[in-house]
Amino acid sequence: MQQHTPLNNSTILSVFIARVFLFTPFMTVAGCIPILMEEWGIGAAKVSSIVSSFYFAYAFSLLGFSWLGDRIGAKRTVLLSACATVFAGAAFAVFAEDFMSSLILYGLIGLCQGGVYGPLIMLFRENVPSDRLGSAIGWLIASTSIGYAASIALTGLFVGISGWRMAFMATGLLPIAGTAILLVAVKQLPNTVHPRTSDTGFWRQIRQNRPARQLIAAYTCHNWELLGMWTWAPALIAASFVMSGETTTVASGWSAQVVTALHLGGAIAAYAMGRLSDRVGRRSVLIWVAAIAAGFSFGIGWFVTFAPYLIAGLAIVYSFFAIGDSPVLSTAMAERVEPGSLGAMLAARSLIGFIVGAASPAVVGWLIDTLRAGQASETVVWGSGFAILGLGGLLAVFFAFRLPK
């Protein structure tokens, strides 16, 4: 039986806080979309390509760092990624000033971030018993949502005070604090390199581990819906405020505050669903949470002309379910895969999931531009844009049903 070095509550809390600071750049550009479109004179497809560049780079980062975790150990990989994020975030903060520089430097942050996700799941798997693993990974995923909330809140605050330039600066430099906290938090944990066995190996797991294949497919569809929602929910909320008579700048500020609450709700969902899955099983939670999120994807955009506070409330509930299956998918994968192959399987899952997910914001942006060029109503524009995300949610339900009971 696998032996675990106990991961105490103070260490989990320290990792939680560290990841909040490390993830502050994640929502910066999404929170600035209306302002950047106006000040840089670019369309929805072009500005969303900056976000997509981040997610594409993040996909390859997840691949590389998860693969590296099998070779040099999860702990060393986590620390390498965190230190690299410090330099990338600082470069974005200081030098990103137009479309091309932001496209490159925002992508560079994504390229450095992958080691504070997959390898941390591996580190938790090594140090947490199975009956607490869902809750522990729930905390891990919740810190992501809190980081996003901090990112969008700081973005909205500094856009209102001094514009997008200061928002880039503030969110790009905070990973320095996150890395310092993480270095201290994991210092006492062992760095384990699992031995290679006859059951170890990516291709062997892919051929023989059917539940793992279903989980990779479900995660991919989940990412399509989630990353698209995270990118375009701030713009949807801002559009609703603009239609109610607010200026673009004021609407962006209100949107940022609402999206802060949206991500805080996502953090609660991540912990709650992770803990619930410890009690009632991974499969049941995955099916119901994905089904409810898909329903919101198909519906929320059609309400854009309604009161902005209604849109805000719907978006917060939407986010709760869209993020709720994240810790469950990760926990199920960690339990279903042999430890010596977990890094490789997480790498494959991340690469496929984030490449597909990275395309989602750009596809929604393209559809919005196309419908507006055809003079479609704003209701049709936003309703159709978010309905595209719902297709991923429906497929996530399908693959969850195919998991063993």
- What the chain holds in terms of domains, given with CATH numbers, is 9-190+201-401 (1.20.1250.20)
Do residues 332 and 214 touch, judged by C-beta distance below 8 A?
no
pLDDT at 26 over 60: yes
* Mean pLDDT (the chain, rounded): 85
State the pTM of this model: 0.74
Do residues 29 and 50 touch, judged by C-beta distance below 8 A?
yes
For residue 40 the two structure tokens come to 């840089």
pLDDT at 367 over 60: yes
pLDDT digits (tens, 9 = 90+) for 162-179: 788 889 999 999 999 999
Please state, in angstroms and rounded to a whole number, the distance separating the CA atoms of residues 291 and 269: 15
What is the predicted pLDDT for the residue at 2?
45
Q: What is the mean pLDDT of residues 50-73?
A: 85
What is the predicted pLDDT for the residue at 4?
47
Q: What is the mean pLDDT of residues 144-153?
A: 83
Query: DSSP readout, 244-276?
Result: TT--HHHHHHHHHHHHHHHHHHHHHHHHHHHHH
- Burial of 32-45, coded b for 16+ CB within 10 Å and e otherwise, reads bbbbbbeebebebb
For residue 278 the two structure tokens come to 């410890």
Please state, in angstroms and rounded to a whole number, the distance separating the CA atoms of residues 205 and 254: 47
Q: Higher pLDDT residue, 203 or 267?
A: 267
Please state, in angstroms and rounded to a whole number, the distance separating the CA atoms of residues 372 and 377: 8
Q: Higher pLDDT residue, 400 or 340?
A: 400
41 Rama sector, left if φ>0, alpha if ψ -120 to 50, beta otherwise: left
What is the predicted pLDDT for the residue at 280?
82
